[in-house]
A and B are shown apart, each in its own frame.
Chain A
């Protein structure tokens, strides 16, 4: 009887630990940001990209945050309206990382296939300039985000602005960065594939 009880008890403990681990993994430490309506079929989304999250389980990881440097609040889940032109403004504070695939230096899927860097329009960046990209493969959107010089004063940022069409279908897309700067031989570890840092979901409603 005792061996059976021991086996049963151990099994229950192992299952409980596994469930707790999975539940913990499923916690997404990020907030959902709703695009703000700016008119008929137009909306805006404002974000920061910071080199150090400053808070949370990985304070030294690069992270997308809400548009207030003092808030230090992760922002990787977005909700945008369907059939809408969404203007995204990003304050980018991180330093450059050379693109693994130079193709992602091209602005794609935006209005006019252009973006604006500090107010100046551009169509492509040299692969050593971007720090990250904001890419929505399902919508064909890719925008390289220029990096800040390592010798720049603290809190210096680049302003990147672009507009894309959310499509006519209510759907959930994933977005990501195609300029790996995380761990591992290929740089796609750590913040590059952890919820709440450099990738997330865009829900078109």
Chain B
């Protein structure tokens, strides 16, 4: 059989297998579900693009490998095995293969960079800054533009650019609002930032996605996305109910370094 005949066969097998793979990707293989955020929609589209673009390349490698193992195997009797000639380079095939894969990679890299830029783009000109304070094992939230009160649970106004300024008081945590595709590490001694602009009123979950101790699995809480009016009402309620502790709160800061006094470095006879 000539090389051209082999090439045609491989192409046909690859085409059939690629179509099957793409159908499986669409119907049977789960890709990230719906998202509530524009940035998240961009991320999900990018992920699907990578899957659909990479599948035919992966399929080609598998098809060629299987085809070569079967069709180009040495059919001599074991006792008469002879040294085969080394494979000769097919320059046109090599150029086509390298050209296609190189172009694909460059295209995907550009697409991914563009999407990443969208995701990390700062919130609008006047975002609402919410400080996220992670500690074992609950997130608390401070609102600098409303006097710096701190709350157990998160609430944000709808259709408002939000900047989450995230830090930790102890170990590394991860702040994740799954349905909004908002995810960022909380690192003690530093501030990390992530942006959000929730478009739908409702309730979602905030979870910790970095193993942080015995109750890591319980480190979750609600986020309420409220209308502008309800958010202002909520702020006033929080300011009133948190007034008794406000005088003890430290000044707003990007990071906090709690005094470790009283923590023994090794077990002692007393609890302190």
Interface residues of A (CB under 8 A from B): 51-52, 58, 60-62, 94-95, 97-98, 100-103, 105-109, 113, 123-124, 126-127, 135, 137-138, 140, 142, 173-174, 176, 178, 180-188, 190-195, 199
Contact = CB atoms under 8 A, between A and B. Distances in A.
B263 A193 contact: no
A26 B192 CA distance: 36
> Which residue, of A106, A138, A184, has the highest number of chain B Cβ atoms within 10 A?
A106
A156 to B, nearest CB: 15
Interface residues of B, number: 40
Given A62-B271, A140-B153, A188 B213 contact: yes
Given A51-B271, A60-B269, A191-B271, A184 B214 contact: no
Contacts of B153: 140
Nearest to A189: B263
Nearest to A109: B152
A112 to B, nearest CB: 11
Q: Which 3 A-B pairs have the closest CB atoms?
A: A62-B271, A106-B245, A186-B170
B272 A97 contact: yes
Nearest to B153: A140
Nearest to B171: A186
Given A123-B244, A124-B248, 20 more contacts: A60-B267, A100-B170, A101-B133, A101-B135, A102-B249, A108-B241, A113-B241, A140-B152, A174-B137, A174-B218, A180-B136, A180-B263, A182-B263, A185-B263, A187-B262, A188-B213, A192-B136, A193-B213, A193-B215, A199-B215
Contacts of B262: 97-98, 181, 187
Nearest to B141: A103
B263 A181 contact: yes
A187 B263 CA distance: 5
B140 A186 contact: no
Chain B CB within 10 Å, residue with most, of A62, A97, A186: A186
A181 B267 contact: no
